[in-house]
Amino acid sequence: MKGLLRFKIKGVLLLMVVALFFGCKRGNSSKIIENRNNGPALGTSYSIIYFSNTKLDYQREIDSVFAVINHSLSTYIPDSDISKINQGDSTLKIDHMFTDVFLLSKEIHAKTSGYFDPTVGVLVNAWGFGPGQKIELDSTRVDSLLQFVGFHKVELTNKGTVRKQSPSINFDFNAIAKGYSIDRLAAMLEAKGVENYLIEVGGEITAKGKNVLKDKSWVVGINDPQIEDRTEYKAAVALKDVSMASSGNYRHFRIDAVTGEKYVHTLNPLTGFTKNSKVLATTVITDNCAKADGYATAFMAMDLEASKKILEKDSTLEVYMVYLDENGEAKDFMTQGFKSLILQ
């Protein structure tokens, strides 16, 4: 089955593809064929558009990519590689996909001072966000679970296996594996010689080349997290040869009964508790989708000022955030590079 990874919809700034193929130029348009594949996958849906001079259908190859991703990284499949490792198998030799995601996670973990941490599996389950059993949590129980969290407690060996300080440490790559699946789909299309395509999985996107029928960059709309109507866009951006991912608590926040302040809940891997965050939504544009996916998740757990410090040091990340100010009003923050991509 294709939908076994079951990512939670990160909803905020759900990216909607604005792909209107009308009013195409005459002449060369008859030589260009638009190919589409779409359906369920990884607990969400996907849509792929790619152009060619002859009719193509890479459905079998697309299904194969999702199948191998699930076999390697799905915590919802009992005999997947990640499930076996979570169950304590220290002899399993991991594939290149697990290795890729592990190494990128390690990099993002270091650059975000631990706010991105795929060893939060025991906490994800305990809080009721994963496939494991939800339990009632208090400070004592959270402290006991935190001993099984920390990316410095795991490593890859030169034998191609994973070493954990404790068998109870559980990986959960759901915050990065969806983006990684898009990167693998992109690699498949490029191996086939496809130069212009748009891949979307659960709102995350990779755009390569352009919409050749309109002879323009791909255009993607970003929803306003505070408006119910998903046909209303807060912004539209032009994308070419980049990836975009979003994260957040889409239209879900609470109001403090005492202060009247608005907050959203995000799991903080450093404390083990859900965090009262004023960041409603984050969208990241960078060179690959796994990286965009990971940073979008981390920035939701971090304070806005801490995220800005990372952005000052890393010019490869373009970011748009929606956050609540001290009065509970929604405000926008954008890097200059992100602003340059917004269509007026």
181-205: per-residue pLDDT in tens? 999 999 999 999 999 999 999 999 9
The mean predicted confidence, pLDDT, of the chain is: 87
Q: pLDDT confidence of 262, banded at 50, 70, 90? A: low
Which burial class, exposed, middle or buried, applies to 334 when counting CB atoms under 10 A from its CB (0-12, 13-18, 19+)? middle
And the tokens for 173? 């790559």
Confidence at residue 135, expressed as pLDDT on a 0 to 100 scale:
81
Q: What is the DSSP letter of 151?
A: G
Q: What is the mean pLDDT of residues 70-84?
A: 96
Local confidence band at 10 (pLDDT 50, 70, 90 cut-offs): very low
Q: Summarize pLDDT for 113-127 with one digit per residue, the tens.
A: 999 999 998 988 888
Query: Would the pTM of this model clear 0.85, i.e. be above it?
Result: yes
The pLDDT assigned to 223 comes to: 75
By the 8 A CB rule, do 157 and 163 touch? yes
Greater model confidence, 133 or 336: 336
Which pair of structure tokens corresponds to residue 26? 């005459």
β-sheet with 233-239: strand ranges across: 15-17, 218-223, 233-239
Give the relative orientation of helices 96-111 and 289-301 as an angle to the nearest 10 degrees: 40
Q: Of 57-61, 123-127, 244-248, 299-303, which has the strongest mean pLDDT?
A: 57-61
Cα–Cα dist 337/239, whole Å: 12
Going by pLDDT thresholds of 50, 70 and 90, the confidence category of residue 253 is low
CATH number of 64-175: 1.10.3980.10
Q: Are 94 and 103 in contact (CB under 8 A)?
A: no
Per-residue pLDDT for 256 more than 80?
A: no
The amino acid present at 38, given as its one-letter code, is N
Q: Give domain limits for the chain.
A: 64-175
* Structure token digits, residue 288: 């690959």
Nearest-10 crossing angle of helices 174-191, 96-111: 130
Whether residue 9 has pLDDT greater than 70: no
Report pLDDT for 48: 98
Residues, the chain, total?
Answer: 344
* pLDDT band at 32; cut points 50, 70, 90: very high
The least confident of 12-16, 60-64, 117-121 is: 12-16
Indicate the helix (H) or strand (E) that contains 1: none
> Whose CA is closest to 19, among 175, 289, 239?
239
The span from the CA of 180 to the CA of 254, in Å, is: 32
Q: How far apart are CA 132 and CA 71, in angstroms?
A: 18
Q: What percentage of the chain exceeds 90 in pLDDT?
A: 67
- Residue pair 53/40 in contact by the 8 Å Cβ criterion: no
Q: Quote the pLDDT of residue 22.
A: 32
More confident residue, 20 or 254: 254
Determine the 3-state secondary structure of 234 from DSSP. Answer: strand
Which pLDDT value is given to residue 104?
A: 98
Q: What is the DSSP letter of 211?
A: B
